[in-house]
Amino acid sequence: MAGSFALSVIMKTWIVTLLALIWVQSAPAAPALLVTYQDKKLSLESADLAKLPATEVDASDHQAKHHYSGVFVHDILGLVGAPSGDAQRGKALSLIVRITGNDNYSVVFALAEFDPGFSDRSIVLADKQDGQPLPDTAAPFRIVIPGDTHPARWVRQVKSIEVISSSQ
């Protein structure tokens, strides 16, 4: 009887140790943003985005004004070679950018909307709101578009940015 009790304690200890090791091994990695254009795919983490020029904007989300920090989406699109500037003509003008959140909520933009040569609109991938990390409901990244009168295109928990043909 004492032997089976000792064996039971050893088994429970072994199981708890194994589960602890599995939990440590499966700790979530830093959130990554997948950016694609044609055959080029990049997985960007916060540290990668921090290497891009930073920007700050003030914008209202449902009548609440906030100060957002992040990077211009235009700069992210440049990392995968999306057409911009003088290359933004002909077939390039039919390209769209699909931005998707963790809940699979997606919005699309014309690629030209991100190009400073076509628009003075700033579309930002934010990672901070009012000097703090984004709230859990929006983190790790959120699209912010100052001047939009309705924030329906402000995708929360952004997981991917894809440049695709409008015929896809």
Distance in angstroms (rounded) separating the CA atoms of residues 1 and 106: 62
Q: So what's the pLDDT on residue 58? A: 95
Say if residues 51 and 75 touch (Cβ distance below 8 Å): no
Write out the two tokens for 53: 């020029």
pLDDT reading at 95 higher than 80: yes
Mean pLDDT score, 136-165:
94
CATH number of the 30-165 domain: 3.90.420.10
28-32, 77-81, 93-97, range with the lowest pLDDT = 28-32
Say whether 156 sits in a helix, a strand or coil: coil
Cis peptide leading into 28, omega within 30 of 0?
no
18-32, 39-53, 101-115, range with the lowest pLDDT = 18-32
Q: What are phi and psi of 83, to 5 degrees?
A: -60, 140
Q: What are phi and psi of 16, to 5 degrees?
A: -60, -40
pLDDT reading at 14 higher than 60: no
**Residue 146 CA, distance from chain mean position:** 18
pLDDT band at 12 (very low <50, low <70, confident <90, very high): low
Q: So what's the pLDDT on residue 27? A: 44
Distance in angstroms (rounded) separating the CA atoms of residues 127 and 140: 6
Q: Checking phi first, is residue 107 left (phi over 0); if not, alpha (psi -120 to 50) or beta?
A: beta
Could you report the per-residue pLDDT of 50-94, keeping only the tens digit for each?
A: 999 999 999 998 778 999 999 999 999 999 999 998 888 888 889
